[in-house]
Amino acid sequence: MALHIHEAWILLFVLPALVTPAAISHEDYPADEGDQTSSNDNLIFDDYRGKGCVDDSGFVYKLGERFFPGHSNCPCVCTEDGPVCDQPECPKIHPKCTKVEHNGCCPECKEVKNFCEYHGKNYKILEEFKPSPCEWCRCEPSNEVHCVVADCAVPECVNPVYEPEQCCPVCKNGPNCFAGTTIIPAGIEVKVDDCNICHCHNGDWWKPAQCSKRECQGKQAL
């Protein structure tokens, strides 16, 4: 009985040695995903040089055939040396263009600015506006703002005032001028002291008044 047990132990040690790598079939044990990927590295792809041209999506074109390599490319002709593409003179993009699309051979403007910008504000085409009491402006079709500034006449007084929402100064008390340091109205003679009578120059209100001395009416000495 002991002899049979001893022989069984010998068989257990000998059997693994008899199983060699050559005895394991690869058909019985398919390669895992990593092995399959590495085996694909040896694939040979077709060489289309001198036979055709390939676009961005992998489509093959024959020699002499006209095609677009990509959605935003110019048309090309397939030659033995590769694609020969058109190089057209594209129209210039409008400087006011705010939206440009590149879906063809040439870029295309899809939206042009239809307003004017002036001092941080937007105005519609042909819109008129007054940014200040002295300015009158309009938004031109060229998206440029043209303004006219009011030309104020010389005021006819020495103390003009600026009223709200008015561009030019106004003489609230009418024409006047200076007689020394005193302001006198124009159009009449004014006795400025006991000895002098003055009047303003006609039309030249900024000039000092013309004065003439008269007999002084001061108090007589006692």
| pLDDT tens digits, one per residue of 157-197 | 999 998 887 889 999 888 999 998 899 999 889 988 888 89
209 plus 160 within the same structural domain: yes
Contact status, residue 175 vs residue 183, Cβ threshold 8 Å: no
Q: Establish if 36 belongs to a structural domain.
A: no
56: how many CB neighbours lie within 10 A of its CB? 11
Evaluate if residue 34 carries a pLDDT over 70.
no
Same-domain status, 93 and 121: no
- Span 43-84, pLDDT tens digits: 444 556 667 888 888 888 889 898 888 776 788 999 888 888
Residue with the larger pLDDT of the pair 132 and 220: 132
Q: Which residue has the higher pLDDT, 129 or 99?
A: 129
- Provide the residue range defining the domain that includes 196: 154-215
Residue 170 lies inside a defined structural domain of this protein: yes
Same domain, 123 and 102: no
**Which pLDDT does position 47 carry in this prediction?**
58
* Residues 101, 56 share a domain: yes
pLDDT band at residue 147, thresholds of 50, 70 and 90? very high
What is the tens place of the pLDDT at every residue in 84-124?
888 888 888 877 787 888 777 888 888 777 888 899 899 99
My answer on whether 121 and 86 are in the same domain is no
- Domain shared by 119 and 135, yes or no: yes
Mean pLDDT (the chain, rounded): 76
Q: Quote the strand ranges of the chain, DSSP E.
A: 52-54, 60-62, 66-67, 76-79, 82-85, 97-101, 108-112, 115-118, 121-124, 128-129, 135-139, 145-149, 176-179, 182-185, 190-191, 196-199, 210-213
Domain annotation covers residue 127? yes
- pLDDT computed for residue 145 by the predictor: 94
Q: What is the CATH number of the domain that holds 124?
A: 2.10.70
Q: Is residue 26 part of a domain?
A: no
Q: What is the pLDDT of residues 88-98, one digit of tens each?
A: 888 888 777 87
Average pLDDT over residues 7-26: 44
Residue 16 lies in a domain: no
CB environment 144-154: b (16+ within 10 A), e (fewer)? ebeeeeeeeee
